[in-house]
Chain A
Amino acid sequence: MKDRNQQAFVEEAKELLAGLEEAVLEIERDPLNTELIGKIFRTMHTIKGSSAMFGFESIASFTHELETAFDCVREGTMQVTPELVTLTLASRDHIASLLLVVEDGLQVDEALTSKGNAILRQLRTLMPQAAEPGVAAKTPAATVSDPNADSQKSVLYRIYFKPPENIFLRGLNPANLIEELAAMGDEEHVVHADSPSVQEPEGADLCRSIYDILLSTAHPAEGIRDVFIFVEEDSELRIEKLYDAAPLGKDKWQPLLETMRASKGVPTSSLQALINETEGRREKVKVDATADGGTGRHQEQRAIHSIKVPSERLDKLVNLVGELVTVQARLTIAAMNLTDPTLTQIAEEVEALIAELRDNAMSMRMVPIGTTFMRFQRLVRDLSVELGKEIRLVTEGEDTELDKTVIERLGDPLVHMIRNSIDHGIESPDMREAAGKPRTGTICLSAAHSGTNVNVTVSDDGRGFDVEAIRLRAVAQGMIKPDSHPTEQELFAFAFAPGFSTSKEVTSVSGRGVGMDVVRRNIEDLGGKIEIASKQGQGSTFTLKLPLTLAIIEGLLVRVNDELFVLPLAAVKECVELPPWNARRGNGGQLINVRGEIVPYVRLRDYFEMTGSAPSIEYAVIAEVEGKRCGFAVDSIIGEQQVVIKSIGKSYKDVKGISGATVLGDGALALIIDIPVVLSTAESERERLLRLASADVRVESSGSLAIRGEAQ
């Protein structure tokens, strides 16, 4: 990429393309929506204009024809048809690939060019004859003031202003208005007196002056009009585009001003003729080509409400904040050890500030999930056409914000899940009709906050899971015994097993049995979880439970032997002593009585097969995961701490039960416990043991309840 402006153009163009896709998909449902047509046209126009400005001819010329097509649609000489929608989407993709090429600083190769030409050829067949390129350029319309003027470059305007006679008595002064114009660019004017006696406006009660103004500005015509907002209705005001082919310097205005001075109200066309005489014919052609432009970018006039920052800088910021959190923890420990009240107070203030800074930094990385959802409108449309199904995608909760890393990594799993719903979930229109459902199937994609999690659900009103088919398939693949009767949830879980597919045929979309296990792995890598709910004949719902952020968590620091562990505080409910009479040593399968409630617990010492012996009184950290409570037995509890999650590297990624590591204030390392994984491992172990020893379950009613689950 050559320079930052070009980079900015590419970024902007990408955003415009995303918006374009949205608008095009919407227009397919609502083909007469003039607002949308206008939006599509403007997007094309902006892309064309700015790509030409940054020297990307390939994009500009391609977009030009598309723009022409939508100009026809705007004028009603062309209809929005499914073919046009398909071609527009293809064009959008083509522009996107052109952008990729220029972004890498490469030249557009022949294959891409011919692909673009193919699209354009098809597009031309849809267009009315008169609008074909070459004929499309209109006769010089530049004499008319054009409110859609392109704001990118300076345009020379001629403004003819005859204020209302009572303008002074209304507390307004033409001189101020002209001053405002002058602030917008280069300005010169001549004043004509309507009545020869009044030349000097100051002190005069009535104004009889006529102002003939030349203004070269990058502001659009309506920006100029705004200056006259309070007098426009009562004035004679003409704002006319004189020349916009190239900047025309003030030094070249003299002949124009002389003509304007010599003849009051000289027609603008005469002035244009004068310019063309001096500037030559070459430019005139350009006037024709650009005069039919549409709405430009007016955003520039708005105040800046948000700024764009490259995401690496945000990542860097978050990393630095992470380091800061670590140092702050050290400060807190040091202050505690020194027992100096002044230092302690400072440490506390620093802690509060850093907590706020951290929240702020994290919130900067939060982005709404809506943009990700948008991608799927296109996916659903393309796939349903390909498979001959009628499917509507409904999205909810687009404003829900998630850490950008989570969002980035959520795209692929969602693609898989939606493909799955389209292919396996939604039936063909005929089948749906036969089943008494509307022909058009609905896939609903929604996001919502739920505590420290965000739930993203993909639900469809399709055929749902065929529990019996899954069971038979699982038996056939040797995953379960023919005579076993697993629960629905257990059967659903097979959908995520590698190589498992109940699809009778392999389509181009899915059915190869890869995918759902990848989805599950991706989601688990994100610290999330998938749940399935399904009813045969009525549809399925996949719920992804995702953490809000990945970088920093509140943790509870605990110790076993000399090893430190962090339990994510979000899941921790309370800590209790684990008296020896409850701490039966065994291979898991232990329960503790927490105020009358029986809670299973896992001894981390046993789970990680650590040597050494436990102290006489252990502690249990009671955590709650998905409504289930479970204890973690540790030697001692050190305290709450913010921890910055560091990856422990590829070599350890298969270690179950550890989700990461963190560096503590004093430089020591602590491993972060992956609570759900430890729980499910321990649970299956306990169930195994309980099954083995089910005959030996005893409830001792001596105040402490214990189930002896050890294998005999």
Chain B
Amino acid sequence: MAKLIMTVDDSTSIRQMVSFTLTSAGYQVVEAVDGSDALSKIGDSSTIDMLITDLNMPNLDGIGLIKNVRTQQRHRFIPILLLTTESQEAKKQEGKAAGASGWIVKPFNATQLVEVVRKLLK
């Protein structure tokens, strides 16, 4: 059974890149456009195996999303990957405190992404 990964980003191109890359690597991917969209979709779906999220998003941002997801019993220990930019060091620390497993600094390439996802989903 392929692992289900959710990618949350308000940028369509980033979502598509993540989605395409991970689908090619054999994962199943669902997309969400921001934190609240992600939460409502997680509500619908059963359990996701991993979350990949942007930090700055409208409605509910990445930090808020992580905090919320970590309160859900079934998602307490899933890997969560942040997509950050170089300038977001403070935000990254906040994300880690909220429960992010790791981060990838944009711009990143497909190989990097797959490597990190493999590492975290071990």
Interface residues of A (CB under 8 A from B): 166, 168-173, 176, 179-180, 229-230, 234, 303
Contacts and interface: CB of A to CB of B under 8 A. Distances in A.
Nearest to A176: B122
Nearest to B78: A171
A171 B122 contact: no
Interface of B: 70, 76-80, 96-97, 99-103, 111, 119-120, 122
26 contacts: A166-B97, A168-B77, A169-B70, A169-B77, A169-B99, A170-B80, A170-B96, A170-B100, A170-B101, A171-B77, A171-B78, A171-B80, A171-B99, A171-B100, A171-B120, A172-B79, A172-B102, A172-B120, A173-B77, A176-B122, A179-B122, A180-B119, A230-B101, A230-B103, A230-B120, A303-B111
B34 to A, nearest CB: 21
Q: A interface, by DSSP: helix, strand, loop or mixed?
A: helix
A171 B70 CA distance: 9
A117 B79 CA distance: 60
Contacts of B96: 170, 234
A215 B70 CA distance: 34
A171 B119 contact: no
B121 to A, nearest CB: 9
Contacts of B79: 171-172
Contacts of A176: 122
B3 to A, nearest CB: 13
User: Would you list the 9 A-B pairs with minimal beta carbon distance, nearest first?
Assistant: A230-B102, A171-B79, A171-B101, A176-B122, A170-B101, A172-B101, A169-B99, A171-B78, A170-B99
A169 B73 CA distance: 11
A180 B122 CA distance: 9
A303 to B, nearest CB: 7
B77 to A, nearest CB: 6
Contacts of B77: 168-169, 171, 173
A676 to B, nearest CB: 48
A173 B102 CA distance: 12
Looking at A169, A176, A230, A234, the one whose CB has the most chain B CB atoms below 10 A away is A230
B119 A166 contact: no
B74 to A, nearest CB: 12
Contacts of A180: 119, 122
A169 B71 CA distance: 10
Nearest to B97: A166
A169 B76 contact: yes
Contacts of A168: 77
A469 to B, nearest CB: 60
Contacts of A170: 80, 96, 99-101
A169 B72 CA distance: 12
B122 A229 contact: no
Contacts of A171: 77-80, 99-101, 120
Nearest to A166: B99
Contacts of B76: 169
B47 to A, nearest CB: 13
A492 B119 CA distance: 68
Nearest to B101: A171
Contacts of B111: 303
A229 B70 contact: no
Nearest to B119: A180
Contacts of A173: 77
Given A171-B77, A172-B120, 7 more contacts: A168-B77, A169-B70, A169-B76, A169-B77, A171-B78, A171-B79, A180-B119
Contacts of A172: 79, 101-102, 120
Contacts of B119: 180
Nearest to A303: B111
A661 to B, nearest CB: 50
A234 B102 CA distance: 12
B110 to A, nearest CB: 12
A113 B100 CA distance: 61
A377 B100 CA distance: 52
A234 B96 CA distance: 10
Contacts of A166: 97, 99
Contacts of A234: 96
Looking at A169, A171, A179, the one whose CB has the most chain B CB atoms below 10 A away is A171
A173 B121 CA distance: 10
A171 B119 CA distance: 12
Nearest to B100: A170
B87 to A, nearest CB: 17
A173 to B, nearest CB: 8
Contacts of B80: 170-171
Nearest to B93: A233
A701 to B, nearest CB: 69
Looking at A172, A173, A234, the one whose CB has the most chain B CB atoms below 10 A away is A172
B16 to A, nearest CB: 24
A165 to B, nearest CB: 12
Contacts of A303: 111
Contacts of B103: 230
A455 to B, nearest CB: 36
Nearest to A229: B102
A698 to B, nearest CB: 73
B78 to A, nearest CB: 5
Contacts of B100: 170-171
A166 B67 CA distance: 13
A234 B93 CA distance: 10
A303 B110 CA distance: 14
A643 to B, nearest CB: 43
Contacts of A179: 122
A422 B25 CA distance: 57
A403 B89 CA distance: 50
B56 to A, nearest CB: 21
Nearest to B92: A233
Contacts of B97: 166
A16 B60 CA distance: 53
A638 B118 CA distance: 61
Contacts of A169: 70, 76-77, 99
A174 to B, nearest CB: 12
Contacts of B102: 172, 229-230
Contacts of A229: 102
A223 to B, nearest CB: 13
A229 B115 CA distance: 13
A166 B76 CA distance: 11
Looking at A173, A179, A303, the one whose CB has the most chain B CB atoms below 10 A away is A173
Contacts of B101: 170-172, 230
A63 B109 CA distance: 39
A333 B13 CA distance: 52
B91 to A, nearest CB: 14
A303 B115 CA distance: 12
A234 B99 CA distance: 13
B25 to A, nearest CB: 15
Contacts of B70: 169
B65 to A, nearest CB: 14
Nearest to A175: B122
A532 B80 CA distance: 66
A267 to B, nearest CB: 30
Nearest to B69: A171
Contacts of B120: 171-172, 230
